[in-house]
Amino acid sequence: MAAATRIIAAQGLGAATAAIAKEAGVSNGSLFTYFDTKADLLNQLYLELKGEMGAAALGGPPAADARTQLLHVWSRWMDWATANPLKRRTLAQLQVSDEIAASTHESVHRTMAGIGEALERGRANGPMRDAPAALVFTLSNAVAEATIDYIIGDPDRADEHKRSGFDALWRMIG
């Protein structure tokens, strides 16, 4: 999975399985001992990376109030994404891939339920309370991606960017 992450981050989803196998130090045929198809590999990688990101974001005790809980999730999400730029780049490609099965997206949705619950709790009394949940999640993700880009581009002000991004998110939904 680490080899696939590195190769996809560098070469995109069109990267040959032979390149992934070589990076992993196995023969191309051996790769298919573990995965039936390239699509199977991509689906498994997507599940793994989303699971890791979700676990990082949701780690720690739940907060008493919605804002504090969402700030905790936000901070841990920002930390994971900026500490794992190759995984983030690979995830961005996998998220829009036609190779990712509906069942995989459903599984990821269940894995990420805690983040969705934090967003739902945060928007319960806010201006986005009646907006479709999928829209709120998409907008939140856009704010997160912009914040991550700023943190990566200006790491000396990472805490300031993280706080500004969260403040924008909270004004939007809280």
Residue 170 has pLDDT above 80, yes or no: yes
Q: For residue 105, give Cα distances in angstroms to 35, 46, 97, 112, 136.
A: 18, 9, 11, 10, 18
- Tell me the domains of the chain and their CATH numbers: 37-173 (1.10.357.10)
Task: Report the predicted TM-score, pTM, of the whole model to 2 decimal places.
Answer: 0.89
Over residues 106-164, the pLDDT tens digits come to 999 898 888 888 899 999 999 999 999 989 999 999 999 999 999 999 999 999 999 99
